[in-house]
Amino acid sequence: MKKKRWIISERNDVCAQSLSASLHIPRLAATVLTARGISDTDGAKAFMDSGISNISDPFLLQDMDKAIAVIEDSIQKGERIAVYGDYDVDGVTATCIMIRYLKSRGADCTYYIPDRLGEGYGLNLQAIKTLYDDGCRLLITVDSGITAVEEADYAADLGLKLIITDHHECKEILPAACAVVNPRREGSQYPFKELAGVGVAFKLICAMEKDTPVEQMLERYADVVAVGTIADVMPLRDENRTIVSYGLKKLPFTKNLGLRALMSKLGLDSKPINANSVSFVMAPRINAAGRLGVASSAARMFLTEDWNEAASLAEHLCDLNRIRQEEENGIFTEITDRLKEHPELTRKKILVLWGEDWHNGVIGIVSSRLSDRYGMPCILISLTGDSGKGSGRSIKGFNLYAALEKNAHLLEKYGGHELAVGLSLDRSNLEALREALENYADEYSDASDTAPYINVDCTVSPQELTVSEVQGLGVLEPFGMGNAQPVFAMTGMRVEEITPISHERHIKLLLSKNGMYFYSFVFGMGMKSCPFVKDDQLDIVFSAEINSYRGRNSVQLVIKDLKWSEKEETFDADSYAAYLAFSAQRDISCEMAAHLSPTKNELVAVFRHIKANADNGTLMDGARSIYRKIRYESNNSLSLGRFLVCMDVFSEFSIFDYSLLDDDIMINILNYTGKADINGSVALKRLTELRQR
């Protein structure tokens, strides 16, 4: 895994104190604002504003008047109207608020959500024909349609009127529809371009109800609109901030039975609801339906007026999510096992892998996890017969769409943007595509630009993380894209305990510093992959949360990244430098020789650890992690350099052989028989001579 860079903003304590006093907000929240470049009172007020003034006039959106005229005409004529959505949370929520509104107007309406696995994203000709044959004479797209030029022409030829509402990037040629409502249209006067698809649908409804105060429109729809906006990772500023703020306040009291049932099923009905609750708890369940090809289940949940049906559908979504997790984790484990066997693949600048019948609905998530884990762009391709369908995720600084565009001759179809792509190709082109993309990455990427990083608001001391100060960060909510949850750094934290949780998929650390203790969670790191041991000194990057248990509040940390402290890093670097000097036959001091000389007990401890932990005769792990584990298990004074000397001794006698790969070491157990007399080791004899000079 590539190490992440920590980009830590400088603190401005004087400015933070001034903001805290003038705005009457907690000091820690003010410190975050100043770290993000918001240092004056007016700027801070504008940033935190979630008032109605942020909501813009919907008629500033191009073609809005045309869209309303066509819809009103269809309602008056009693024409059947179809809403064409998408299978993700944004598309489903947009579909549902539009259907609810049309039904409230007495319209004859239906909806259509394409099957992710069979149809893919966006309008398709067969669906248009099906809806027309079903009697639909007006088709309204939500969260899709902006590139459907051919499909729009086909609808017109049939006599099916088309209104497009979308928020994705527009191409040079727009579809020939009755109206195209999109804040990203060239020449648009709409002041906020970052609405979600459900946000654009909401603006259309607001325009239809132009005489209704916007507060009332938010009261009716903000809960569902907020869920779609958060789930689609839209920037939570300006108009989105207001919509989401209203929606989060409304969610605990929502009248939408589907939302109520889902929150009840997830245990959220008795907890404060924030953007994280939506992003990481609710949204994956709603998305699971689309990923597994049954997005209609999520739509039915949002639209039902029957509590029993709502509860049943909420349970169904949770079941689908468990299936999605199993599929995802199975593919992820298969790939990480493969990469352990072929670590050289992770040292390239792009990862291109394929497998038989991987689930197309989840490989995008797995690509994202791998890209984050290894700090590189990743494309996964699922093979069925002679065809392959792929999904890729990238990192900032590497344009994955441009990489595909450069090699379009190897692809049947591709699309997406800089950070996420989809593609299809013939099996025969797999190797050629991988080679071409690796060559492209070598030519067009700069390792310094694409190295993974974490933005950190500031370094804090344990004393700053009081319950009241962490609770006070709530004044900056809602958190999400464009307003990330505050991330802090602390240095020199001592590991007191390491506990596996959730069937050893994650770990909980008890960390201490200056007499203060924090339970800290590292998600996605199990005990087997944890390189740390008790008493290690760590530097951590984390977000801080409040844990409420039996009426008692405490601060807990969710760790984003962690590493050995500078003191530990220096110790290991000095020890390794001494080892390199010794192994290169250079003259070293008697103190260095003493540092590198293992005791008999340490040699035995190293031998036993390797034999006990090798898998099929091989142990691969971080060298620094292995020696620390041995030191902790045996309560000895092993160092990195001394551990490597032990490995050299065992190599002399053909007990083990090993190779170093950056920070990792691969150890193979050899077929040695008999008993080795380590006193005859050349390395140990030389160390003894150097110590006795």
β-sheet bridge partners, residue 378: 351, 393
Dihedral of alpha carbons 197, 328, 661, 533, sign: positive
Q: Give 160's pLDDT tier (boundaries 50, 70, 90).
A: very high
SS3 173: coil
For the ranges 272-286, 546-560, 663-677, the lowest mean pLDDT is seen at: 663-677
Percentage of the chain lying above the pLDDT 90 cut: 79
- Same-domain status, 29 and 61: no
Q: 588 and 573 in one domain?
A: yes
Do the beta carbons of residue 111 and residue 95 sit within 8 Å?
Answer: yes
Residue 15 placed within a domain: yes
Tokens of 666: 């691969």
In a domain, 322, yes or no: no
**pLDDT attached to residue 505:** 85
| CA distance to 78, 214, 442, per residue, from 567 (Å) | 75, 57, 35
Q: Which residues pair with 356 in a beta bridge?
A: 383
- The amino acid at 553: N
Strand partners, 138: 81, 161
What integer pLDDT is reported at residue 449 of this predicted model?
Answer: 57
With H, G, I as helix, E, B as strand and everything else as coil, classify residue 266.
coil
Among the candidates 317, 334, 351, a domain finishes at 317
- Is 327 part of any domain? no
Query: Is the same domain home to 392 and 461?
Result: no
Give residue 72's pLDDT: 97
Q: What is the domain-level CATH number for residue 154?
A: 3.90.1640.30
The CATH number assigned to the domain holding 488 equals: 2.40.50.460
Do 66 and 172 sit in the same domain of this protein? Answer: yes
Is position 329 within any domain? Answer: no
Average pLDDT over residues 261-290: 91
* pLDDT for residue 168 is more than 60: yes
Q: Is residue 332 part of a domain?
A: no
pLDDT tops 70 at residue 535: yes
Whether 475 and 523 share a structural domain? yes
Are 416 and 471 contained in the same domain?
Answer: no
> Structurally, how many domains does the chain consist of?
4
pTM of the model: 0.84
Residues counted in the chain: 693
Say yes or no: 534 and 588 in one domain. Answer: no
pLDDT at 478: 92
Q: What is the pLDDT of residues 294-333, one digit of tens each?
A: 889 999 999 999 999 999 999 999 999 999 999 999 999 9
Highest mean pLDDT among 61-65, 323-327, 417-421, 614-618: 61-65
508, β-bridge pairs: 499, 521
**pLDDT for position 341:** 83
Residue 480 pLDDT grade (very low, low, confident, very high; cuts 50, 70, 90): confident
Say if residue 20 is in the same domain as residue 104: no
On whether both 556 and 650 belong to a single domain, the answer is no
Q: What is the mean pLDDT of residues 122-143?
A: 95
Same domain? For 32 and 163 the reply is: no
Per DSSP, the residues of 413-467 read: EEEE-SSEEEEEEEGGGHHHHHHHHHHHHHHH--HHHHS-EEEE-EE--GGG--H
Task: Classify residue 328: in a domain, yes or no.
Answer: no
Enumerate the H helices of 159-213 as residue ranges. 197-208
Indicate whether 186 and 258 sit together in one domain: yes
Side-chain-facing half-sphere of 322: CA atoms under 13 Å: 5
Q: Which residues contact 320 (CB under 8 A, 6 or more apart)?
A: 285, 288, 289, 292, 294, 297
Mean pLDDT of the region 174-190? 95
Residues 279, 175: one domain? yes
Domain-terminating residue out of 406, 428, 451 = 451
The parent domain of residue 238 ranges over 54-317
Beta bridge partners of 488: 458, 542
Residue 85: pLDDT over 80:
yes
The predicted structure's pLDDT at residue 82: 98
- pLDDT (0 to 100) of residue 179: 97
Final residue before a domain boundary, out of 532, 564, 596: 564
pLDDT of 662 = 78
622-658 pLDDT, tens digit each? 999 999 999 999 998 999 999 999 999 999 999 999 9
Q: Provide the CB-side half-sphere exposure for 77 (13 A, CA).
A: 12
Say which CATH number the domain at 350 has. Answer: 3.10.310.30
> Would you state the pLDDT for residue 453?
82
Could you tell me the CATH number of the domain that includes residue 658?
Answer: 1.10.10.10
Residue 83 lies in a domain: yes
In a domain, 326, yes or no: no
